[in-house]
Amino acid sequence: MSWLARLRGDDEPDEQQAPEPDEDSPAALQAAIDELVRYVNARAGGLPPAALVNARMLTDTLTEVVDSAAVRPLDVYAVISVRGVVGDYLPTTLRGYLALEPDARGVPRADGHSPTQSLMMQIDSLQTSVSATLVATREQDADALMTQGRFLQTKFNRSDLDL
């Protein structure tokens, strides 16, 4: 608190204020994924079995991405990808499908695809995207491991420059 504020008799700021919850923390991301899993399960009766299974595989992949934060902090692009899929893309896809009348789900639309086909394709696209994120994350881990290996080799082995 500044001396001017003390002279004016301003109140002390509350330094014990709880920090803002970090929505991008691994715990928050995992909680969002768990919520999405519950959303998918609760609507399993209205989804084609293959879409249900593929959607759950997608949530598994999202969990793997978040679990990689135990090794190293998540890349900002990985966080954006997980946030987008969990908070928007997959729920929007499922909501759009479930909003249709059951009789209309198998009828081809103007583009030649039925809503069920479109649902399968959209989940597959999301899976492809999240899988690419997971691969990139794992490659970063592998690169970090290789860098650590080179460091240890240099530190504890004789250098090639030694005579």
Partner 1 sequence: MLPDPSRAPARTDLPWLRHRPVRRVPAAAATRVDLRHAGRPAPGARPASAGLDLSRPTREAAPASSSLDLSAPAPAQPAPSPSLDLSSPAPARPSPSLDLSSAPAAPASARPAPSLDLGSSAAPAPASLDLSSAAAPSQVAPARRRPSAARGDEVLGYAPEGVVVGRPTLLTRDRPTIALTAVQSGVGVLRVTSAVSQGVGDFRLAAFAHLATGETVLLDHNRAMTTVPAASRRPVVQAVDRGFLVDLRQTPRLARLVVLGFSPTSAALAWSGALRVETIGGARVDVPLEREPGAGSLVALSLVNVGGRLVLRAERELVPGALREAALAFGFDELTWVDAWTPLV
Contact set with partner 1 (CB under 8 A): 38, 41-54, 56-57, 60, 113-114, 116-118, 120-121, 123-125, 127-128
Phi-psi region of 9 (alpha: psi -120 to 50; beta: other; left: phi over 0): left
Distance between CA atoms of residues 56 and 44, nearest Å: 10
Question: What span, in angstroms and rounded, lies between the C-alpha atoms of 78 and 61?
Answer: 12
Closest to partner 1 by CB, 23 vs 34, is 34
Give the residue with the Cβ less far from partner 1, 125 or 154.
125
Alpha carbon distance 51, 120 (integer Å): 6
Minimum distance, C-beta of residue 122 to partner 1, in the bound complex (Å) = 9
Residue 121 CB, shortest distance to partner 1, in Å, is 5
DSSP annotation of 85: I
Q: Which is nearer to partner 1, 111 or 162 (CB)?
A: 111
Name which of 12 and 111 has its Cβ closer to partner 1. 111
Q: Which of 33, 88, 36 is nearest to 65 (CA)?
A: 33
CB of 44 to partner 1, least distance (A): 3
